[in-house]
Amino acid sequence: MEMENRWIHGKLKDSIGYDRYLHSVRVMETCIDLAKHHGYPIERVAIAGLLHDCGRLLDKKKILKLIKDFDIILDNMVKNNEELIHALLGEELARREYGIEDEEILNAIRYHTTGREDMGSIEKIVYIADVIEPNRNFPGVEDIRNMAYKDIDKSILHSMESTIRFLIDKGSLIHLDTIKGRNQLLKLKR
């Protein structure tokens, strides 16, 4: 396990760069904290957190090549949107290059940017850990951080809503998975 871990860390650092790698480690640590707190499987959550951005390759040409090689279908929404592409590519890289077979871990990587309806516990933890890792300092982050330990669904709802607001203000498209996920959590809360 130790050997394997060192290999994963090395490969990740080389492919996404040192800063992104450090972010990934902070997300992993936040995932572990949240998993301990909520009683979720720590090992699986940790690896999902560590690999969540493995598709954010430094080599941009390689991204396009791999999308082709892996037959990843990019719809109009995803095309030219690096934020969305890195999550789809990340899932495939985790499967093919990091040897991850656990579908819940793969889904956590695939949906970490948009969220979606019916998120599993590993997906939820990775989604929110990416938002609240210690270096995040947007206005209101402290509230979402506290919420994530008390009521993880509520913290995801808030975070999805601020993402939606942000995208509207920027004049950007909003992925349907985010809207569906937000609507479902809102209904649950009522």
Judged by CB under 5 A, which stretch of 53-61, 115-123, 140-148, 157-165 contacts Fe ion? 53-61
Q: Does 133 bind Fe ion (CB under 5 A)?
A: no
Interface residue with Fe ion among 28, 49, 53, 152 (CB under 5 A) is: 53
Nearest-angstrom CA–CA distance, 68 and 110: 17
Cα dihedral 26, 30, 32, 35, rounded to 10, equals: -160
Q: Does 91 bind Fe ion (CB under 5 A)?
A: no
Minimum CB separation of residue 19 from Fe ion in Å reads 11
DSSP line for 128-184: HHHHHSTT---TTHHHHHHHHHH-HHHHHHHHHHHHHHHHHHHT----HHHHHHHHH
Nearest-angstrom CA–CA distance, 14 and 42: 25
Minimum CB separation of residue 151 from Fe ion in Å reads 22
For Fe ion, the closer of residues 3 and 33 by Cβ is: 33
Minimum CB separation of residue 93 from Fe ion in Å reads 13
Minimum CB separation of residue 161 from Fe ion in Å reads 19
Q: What are 47's two structure tokens?
A: 């690896």
Q: Does 130 bind Fe ion (CB under 5 A)?
A: yes
